[in-house]
Amino acid sequence: MKNTFGQSVAVTVFGESHGPELGAILDGMAPGIPVDEAFIAHQLDLRRPSGKISTARKETDPFRIVSGVFEGKTTGTALTILIPNSSQHSKDYAATRALARPGHADYTAYAKYHGFEDYRGGGHFSGRITAGLVAAGAIALSALAGKGIYVGTHVAQCGPVADAPFAADEETLKQQLKDLNQRTFATLDDDAAQEMTRVIEKASAAHDSVGGVLETAVVGMPAGVGEPWFDSLESVLSHAMFSIPAVKGVQFGAGFDLTCGYGSQFNDSFRMEGGRVVTTTNNNGGINGGISNGMPLQFRVAVKPTPSIFRQQETVNFMEGTNADLQIKGRHDPAIIHRARVVVDSMTALTLCDMLALRFGTDWLAPTQPTQE
Amino acid sequence: MKNTFGQSVAVTVFGESHGPELGAILDGMAPGIPVDEAFIAHQLDLRRPSGKISTARKETDPFRIVSGVFEGKTTGTALTILIPNSSQHSKDYAATRALARPGHADYTAYAKYHGFEDYRGGGHFSGRITAGLVAAGAIALSALAGKGIYVGTHVAQCGPVADAPFAADEETLKQQLKDLNQRTFATLDDDAAQEMTRVIEKASAAHDSVGGVLETAVVGMPAGVGEPWFDSLESVLSHAMFSIPAVKGVQFGAGFDLTCGYGSQFNDSFRMEGGRVVTTTNNNGGINGGISNGMPLQFRVAVKPTPSIFRQQETVNFMEGTNADLQIKGRHDPAIIHRARVVVDSMTALTLCDMLALRFGTDWLAPTQPTQE
Amino acid sequence: MKNTFGQSVAVTVFGESHGPELGAILDGMAPGIPVDEAFIAHQLDLRRPSGKISTARKETDPFRIVSGVFEGKTTGTALTILIPNSSQHSKDYAATRALARPGHADYTAYAKYHGFEDYRGGGHFSGRITAGLVAAGAIALSALAGKGIYVGTHVAQCGPVADAPFAADEETLKQQLKDLNQRTFATLDDDAAQEMTRVIEKASAAHDSVGGVLETAVVGMPAGVGEPWFDSLESVLSHAMFSIPAVKGVQFGAGFDLTCGYGSQFNDSFRMEGGRVVTTTNNNGGINGGISNGMPLQFRVAVKPTPSIFRQQETVNFMEGTNADLQIKGRHDPAIIHRARVVVDSMTALTLCDMLALRFGTDWLAPTQPTQE
Amino acid sequence: MKNTFGQSVAVTVFGESHGPELGAILDGMAPGIPVDEAFIAHQLDLRRPSGKISTARKETDPFRIVSGVFEGKTTGTALTILIPNSSQHSKDYAATRALARPGHADYTAYAKYHGFEDYRGGGHFSGRITAGLVAAGAIALSALAGKGIYVGTHVAQCGPVADAPFAADEETLKQQLKDLNQRTFATLDDDAAQEMTRVIEKASAAHDSVGGVLETAVVGMPAGVGEPWFDSLESVLSHAMFSIPAVKGVQFGAGFDLTCGYGSQFNDSFRMEGGRVVTTTNNNGGINGGISNGMPLQFRVAVKPTPSIFRQQETVNFMEGTNADLQIKGRHDPAIIHRARVVVDSMTALTLCDMLALRFGTDWLAPTQPTQE
């Protein structure tokens, strides 16, 4: 589906960078999930640009929920979140509308929508649209937490700087995930955050941009969720991740590193621990044969450097079919890696809610398991 | 969907490693596509283990098409391909059925199917099931070739050995893709294939296994295919790739390498060339904003080392909830990377047929564009 | 999908009777379709209760489009229409929330949503939600009209009164469809509308309600749309029709009448006419084997009498598990048949846009067929 | 989807009238359901033509299950049933392939598949394909019965003859449903079956054909299944019913009769009975607001007279664009109503399994509710 993702729990996004409102619909979520507006606001804040390493465009994200919530809880029907855009100066876009910004979707949008696309500020392709995903994702994260399932993401790498790795121990990991959610620049190691910030500032000063790697973990996931073939947990999670703008790679567990060694190094041995099946390592990222094995889900997402840079670039005027030079104006982020992580958390939570509801039914995520009719 | 993938052109797989027959249904393909049984057989041969670097289990792959083909051409309705399994000795499996092979799906299958799963030889999780995908994919590849779209994959890396890169020039690349399809061990550089074979043989001798990286390219893809959000071309292609057993990573264009440099290095500049919009580099793998830009699609897939190794491994008896040791018997591949590439080609072709049919209609892939009613 | 319908062109509805806003998202519509706000308003007016045969609850239907339209035309991305609810008095609902209104969804909503449902005024089950469908449907109707496809519905029967039948001649029929769209009470015969109105008034005076039969026709539909099996045109159209509250029957062509006669009476003979294949009768409603045959689509929809009647009724208090008596208060429609027809037109148009886009591609409905990339 | 129906439990059909094999895949069924091959054979027998009121074409229906069953029980993965076609004489079809049989899909198949369709004996449109649905449906019926849910259908009307109505009492109704499954010509009243047989024989003697009305009931359905809007239980059931060849109408509860009376007559009052919510009448067919209310589901399906009649008919040669006369040869059924009922049972069961699995999870239909991981 074009703007809808999910089978039992589904999210739909809509809006454009310079339209009046954007948002999301969260459909099929179990009834009775408390909707914590402060937590939604907190999540939207994590996504918002802030400080000098992010664009100065002031995005305030007030939001309102116009359906699907009654007396503070989900009703189980379509939940609609609207986020108004603050007034934009759109006049500057018409002049350069046919100049394809390198690394952006201007030309491909034209090839698909034949010039009818809203080209202002990236239109429907704008990263701004992820605000809707983050708001819907906040409710999905709450629902999962109610079942003891926690999701979190850190900036594992930015430029040449690497963060500390996730803890192998599940209890420690769970605490790390909760802590990460409180951080504006989400690293496990404080020094890493500072170094990464310097990398970004340096890129900014050089009129350039950087990308990075996000690493996500999920603890508390029950075993037995996912499908052997087309709806493998890797398939649906990667489908969700590659929906996020600027994501160009996804790997589970040891991922591409698995290709550099031997089976004997990477096979995760099973052991009994406290009456439960565990693995002694987690090179498969908590997934065997497309199905969760009860260990933490773990995966990495590659985020490319922001394509908007303040240098003259070669391009084409795709309406005239001529070569052209382009100098992007305005203010743009020299990095989005620190903001993208909350989008990754959100899409992860939405995807897992869907997979869990498909597996265990639409009531499973409800805080108290209701008696079956 | 569990065993069905695709919206307009869809593939369904079925079967188990030790069942009587396995296969696939290809549904929604345009009518009138010539079905070349020799090409299907060729593709199945590429997937078959052969020589000393593959398992000695003799898999002959006769197949028969029982629906959807009439007078040698696709009818446009469900096309069913059946592949019989040769007789298997299944008795040995019962003894170890509760011992989870590390890196395999035995335990997760149990968590999902509660012991009712066919556990013999991996059952429905077996790589053998990919034979159905390859047979269906052969028809998809033919359909694409009829429209000037070519798909090919090489073993870009195996252990420490790297193959030569794909050509940047589209005509040369197209020839490379055609050549790769003729090779049993698909590399661009002959020496690389020999070195990789030695790596695999060495692993085999050490009772171990290796993985590798496959790189795929597609030339001739029209611009304007894919969606900005949930059905981005990256999303649907990665969904397909992660359906393939042992795949643990997918990246498009420069992928994870994009995270180590600057925007100024990786932005693909647009230029006019022969009246057509092209990019001077292809770090985005032919996709901007989720939509094809007309350049070759390019992506890499990480295949983990075969988990079946001939060493004693620690595991659990998941039915008894006890620790156990496991020594896998029989013959198993020390590597599947050289066989997996044709599965990657097949899933790529099936996915692109679907995306093209959604975009341009169900007749688009037909050899001669029929007059619209 | 729960609140989303369609594969290539999809509609999503959201909102509750007493929530702040309701609406719909129209996704996947071709780019470049002119969006005529006056026509949307006109359609919403046709759905609104008016005069003494409809409820006095004043529903003004201002609406605003917050995404997917740029410079007056569809962009091709998710198009969101919001319709605010006027302020409601909701206090009266709490007292009777556990008394299941006979013929309504109060009890089934409770069985599904466990008491978390918004019970005020029917909540998400309210017929009021169809306003979103009508607004989205207006754009679908415009898109179809741009391709020479016209949809229209008349009140074929209300109580004992029958309307005149649709014309057999296609040109006359097309004119009838256009005329119907201008009528508040859509009949082909003016006298029938007056008699039906008297039937409704009489029911209202008796504190009772009536239903009726709507008949829809579509002219200009190309042959070759629909699928032999699960997405037969009948299947998808009936799926859409039964989504409309109070619909309890759907039949195509001669429908249930076909069961009372002989094959020799009902087989529609084919003939050439003006170089085109036609049928001399249309007992199959323009569909053979699930696929359009180029003749007008024709089907009938049974709308049950409004379940809200001003009489004491027997029911249960489903929260206490006791029998109870119920006297519905407020003002309610003694009939909705004359308002439902525009909902039928809307769902028909949305469904056909989807089927046409699946068949001929996402650009087919665009006013000017763009050159293929 | 074209040949696949269902979201959590899905069925895929394939095959042609004169191809080597046809069949179905049942995917997503809970693991552990006993597969009773004798019951599948029994169901296939109910679908087979027999006696003088059905075509003399000898259809023996041996079948084999090639995947998804292990040790006599469903595994939970794709279950494939193959049914070989006995050898057919196909030569006679080529001569008349361009003559559209009135009431059949020959012309619409041509409009959709451009002449590549297998035209022999109706090809993929043949009623013969329903054998696959019946075989898959048998397993769905078994699964439902294991949960106390029973499905049954009687020939409510054939020509001018009406059968006795279903019992209002649930226990009696359940017994009726079980009895119907043992009858070749499924009526509640023996005399009705005999009279209907005479009607069919008379039509046959007159080289004509008749249709009829099937009525289906389901007892034991839990309340709370279905969706308020697009996946209303009526929507998905009608979608399934209209997939069956020759079905032209579907109505729930009192259906079109609801349009002839008053709300006060048809509102089903709620009452407590044995601690359970029931309705005193069932004019809504067990569904309120698209959701099951715990009362028996009840609906009627209109089956048109078989279009193959032994009279000269007017038609066109659609390849030459000329008028033509057609005299159908061979042997054909003067009625299929008595055979279609088992197809209706099957599609009903498949649809309900899907809706129940979506609602309560993929394990719900399993005989013993397994402990959740």
Residue in A7, A294, A360 closest to D372 by CB:
A360
pLDDT at D369 over 60: no
Interface with C, mutate which of B4, B358, B363, B369 (most C CBs under 10 A): B358
Assembly ipTM: 0.96
Cβ–Cβ gap B66/D14 under 8 Å: yes
Is residue D56 very low, low, confident or very high in pLDDT (cuts 50, 70, 90)? very low
Which residue in D has a C-alpha nearest to residue B118's C-alpha?
A: D70
pLDDT at site B345: 98
Backbone angles phi, psi at C253, to 5 degrees: 60, -130
Residue in D222, D362, D372 closest to A373 by CB:
D222
pLDDT at site C373: 41
pLDDT at A233 over 50: yes
Reference C343, options C231, C246, C219; nearest CA is C246
Three-state SS at A131: helix
Residue A30, CA distances (Å) to A12, A143, A245, D289, D365 in order: 17, 8, 28, 19, 20
**Chain A residues lying within 8 Å of B302, measured CB to CB:** 251, 255-256, 258-259
Sign of the CA dihedral running B165, B169, B173, B175: negative
- The half-sphere exposure of C350 on its side-chain side, counting CA atoms within 13 A, is 32
pLDDT at C46 over 70: yes
Task: Give the model confidence (pLDDT) of C162-172 as tens digits.
Answer: 999 999 999 99
pLDDT at site C135: 98
Q: Which two tokens stand for residue D18?
A: 């004169």
Cβ–Cβ gap A104/B249 under 8 Å: no
Interface with A, mutate which of D29, D292, D360, D364 (most A CBs under 10 A): D360
Which residue in D has a C-alpha nearest to residue C302's C-alpha?
A: D256
Residue in B100, B280, B304 closest to A266 by CB:
B304
Cβ–Cβ gap A25/C3 under 8 Å: yes
**Chain B residues lying within 8 Å of C362, measured CB to CB:** 358-359
Region A263-279 average pLDDT: 96
Beta bridge partners of C12: C4, C25
Which residue in C has a C-alpha nearest to residue A72's C-alpha?
A: C116
The alpha carbon of residue A8 is apart from the nearest alpha carbon of chain D, in Å, by 7
Residue in A19, A78, A118 closest to C3 by CB:
A78
Residue A205, CA distances (Å) to A201, A210, A312, A327, D67 in order: 6, 12, 15, 16, 62
DSSP B6-34: -SSSEEEEE--TTSSEEEEEEESPPTT-B
Q: What share of chain A is helix, strand, coil (3-state, %, to 5)?
A: 30, 25, 45
Residues near B348 by beta carbon (within 8 Å), at least 6 away in sequence: B151, B153, B216, B218, B237, B240
pLDDT at site C372: 43
Cβ–Cβ gap A102/B270 under 8 Å: yes
d(CA A220, CA A286): 11
Across chain A, which distance is largest between two alpha carbons, in Å?
Answer: 69
Exposure of C62 by Cβ count < 10 A (0-12 exposed, 13-18 middle, 19+ buried)? Answer: exposed
pLDDT at site C56: 47
Which residue in C has a C-alpha nearest to residue D252's C-alpha?
A: C248
**Chain B residues lying within 8 Å of C291, measured CB to CB:** none
Region A30-39 average pLDDT: 97
**Chain A residues lying within 8 Å of C370, measured CB to CB:** 114
**Chain A residues lying within 8 Å of D359, measured CB to CB:** 361-362
Interface with D, mutate which of A147, A355, A364, A373 (most D CBs under 10 A): A373
Strands across the sheet containing C79-84: C4-5, C10-14, C21-27, C79-84, C64-67
Cβ–Cβ gap D22/B76 under 8 Å: no
Sign of the CA dihedral running B92, B93, B94, B99: positive
**Chain D residues lying within 8 Å of B23, measured CB to CB:** 80
pLDDT at B191 over 80: yes
Task: Give the model confidence (pLDDT) of B146-163 as tens digits.
Answer: 999 999 999 999 999 999
Residue in A27, A68, A116 closest to C74 by CB:
A116
High-pLDDT (> 90) share of chain C, % = 89
Interface with D, mutate which of B29, B67, B74 (most D CBs under 10 A): B67
Task: Give the model confidence (pLDDT) of D343-354 as tens digits.
Answer: 999 999 999 999
Three-state SS at B172: helix
Residues near C36 by beta carbon (within 8 Å), at least 6 away in sequence: C138, C142
SS3 readout for B120-171? HHHHHHCHHHHHHHHHHHHHHHHHHHCCCCEEEEEEEEECCEECCCCCCCHH
Name the helix (H) or strand (E) containing B106: helix B106-113
Are the C-beta atoms of residues C279 and D313 closer than 8 Å to each other? no
**Chain D residues lying within 8 Å of A373, measured CB to CB:** 222-224, 294
Is residue B94 very low, low, confident or very high in pLDDT (cuts 50, 70, 90)? confident
pLDDT at site C217: 98
Three-state SS at A366: coil
Chains in contact with B via at least 3 Cβ–Cβ pairs below 8 Å: A, C, D
Identify the contact set of chain C against chain B, taking CB-CB distances under 8 A: 7-8, 77, 222-224, 228, 294, 358-364, 372-373
Are the C-beta atoms of residues C303 and C336 closer than 8 Å to each other? yes
Task: Give the model confidence (pLDDT) of A48-95 as tens digits.
Answer: 866 566 654 455 679 999 999 999 999 999 999 999 998 666 667 888
Reference B290, options B355, B366, B357; nearest CA is B355
Task: Give the model confidence (pLDDT) of B195-230 as tens digits.
Answer: 999 999 999 999 999 999 999 999 999 999 999 999
Q: Which two tokens stand for residue A19?
A: 């339209």
Beta bridge partners of B157: B162, B213
Residue in D20, D76, D80 closest to B113 by CB:
D76
Exposure of B263 by Cβ count < 10 A (0-12 exposed, 13-18 middle, 19+ buried)? Answer: buried
Is residue C86 very low, low, confident or very high in pLDDT (cuts 50, 70, 90)? confident
Which residue in B has a C-alpha nearest to residue C220's C-alpha?
A: B373
- Hey, how many other C-beta atoms are within 10 angstroms of the C-beta on D202? 13
- Produce one character per residue of B45-56: b if its CB has 16 or more CB atoms within 10 Å, e if not: ebbbbeeebbbe
Residue in B77, B228, B361 closest to C364 by CB:
B361
Chains in contact with C via at least 3 Cβ–Cβ pairs below 8 Å: A, B, D
Residue in A251, A270, A291 closest to B102 by CB:
A270
Reference A209, options A48, A109, A331; nearest CA is A331
Cβ–Cβ gap B261/A305 under 8 Å: yes
Exposure of C299 by Cβ count < 10 A (0-12 exposed, 13-18 middle, 19+ buried)? Answer: buried
Greater model confidence, D241 or B48: D241
Q: Specify the residue for token string 């989900």.
A: A74
Residue in A203, A284, A291 closest to B112 by CB:
A291
pTM exceeds 0.80? yes
Are the C-beta atoms of residues A25 and A11 closer than 8 Å to each other? yes
Q: Specify the residue for token string 């715990």.
A: D294
Task: Give the model confidence (pLDDT) of B330-373 as tens digits.
Answer: 778 899 999 999 999 999 999 999 999 999 999 999 986 554 44
- Of A20-34, B210-224, D326-340, least confident by mean pLDDT is D326-340
Task: Give the model confidence (pLDDT) of C301-354 as tens digits.
Answer: 999 999 999 999 999 999 999 999 999 877 788 999 999 999 999 999 999 999
Cβ–Cβ gap A224/D373 under 8 Å: yes
Which residue in C has a C-alpha nearest to residue A8's C-alpha?
A: C1
Is residue A361 very low, low, confident or very high in pLDDT (cuts 50, 70, 90)? very high
Task: Give the model confidence (pLDDT) of D151-197 as tens digits.
Answer: 999 999 999 999 999 999 999 999 999 999 999 999 999 999 999 99
- Residue C230, Cα to own-chain centre: how many angstroms? 22
- Of A322-331, B297-306, C358-367, least confident by mean pLDDT is A322-331
- Residue D124, Cα to own-chain centre: how many angstroms? 17
Name the helix (H) or strand (E) containing B82: strand B79-84
d(CA D271, CA C17): 27
Are the C-beta atoms of residues C298 and C282 closer than 8 Å to each other? yes
The alpha carbon of residue D71 is apart from the nearest alpha carbon of chain C, in Å, by 31
The alpha carbon of residue B359 is apart from the nearest alpha carbon of chain C, in Å, by 5
**Chain C residues lying within 8 Å of D305, measured CB to CB:** 258, 261-263, 265-266
Residue in D7, D223, D360 closest to A361 by CB:
D360
**Chain C residues lying within 8 Å of A358, measured CB to CB:** none
C-alpha triplet C161, C167, C173: angle, nearest 5°: 115
**Eight-state DSSP code of residue A99:** B
Angle, nearest 10°, between helix axes B37-47 and B337-360?
Answer: 140
The alpha carbon of residue C350 is apart from the nearest alpha carbon of chain D, in Å, by 12
d(CA D184, CA D339): 8
Backbone angles phi, psi at B326, to 5 degrees: -135, 130
The alpha carbon of residue D227 is apart from the nearest alpha carbon of chain B, in Å, by 19
Identify the contact set of chain D against chain A, taking CB-CB distances under 8 A: 7-8, 77, 222-224, 228, 294, 358-364, 372-373
- Across chain C, mean pLDDT equals 94
Interface with B, mutate which of C67, C221, C373 (most B CBs under 10 A): C373
Radius of gyration of chain A (CA): 21
Task: Give the model confidence (pLDDT) of D94-110 as tens digits.
Answer: 889 999 999 999 999 99
Reference C344, options C155, C149, C192, C85; nearest CA is C155
Residue in C268, C314, C318 closest to D103 by CB:
C268
Cβ–Cβ gap B31/D116 under 8 Å: yes
Region C127-133 average pLDDT: 97
Cβ–Cβ gap A8/D358 under 8 Å: yes
Is residue D373 very low, low, confident or very high in pLDDT (cuts 50, 70, 90)? very low
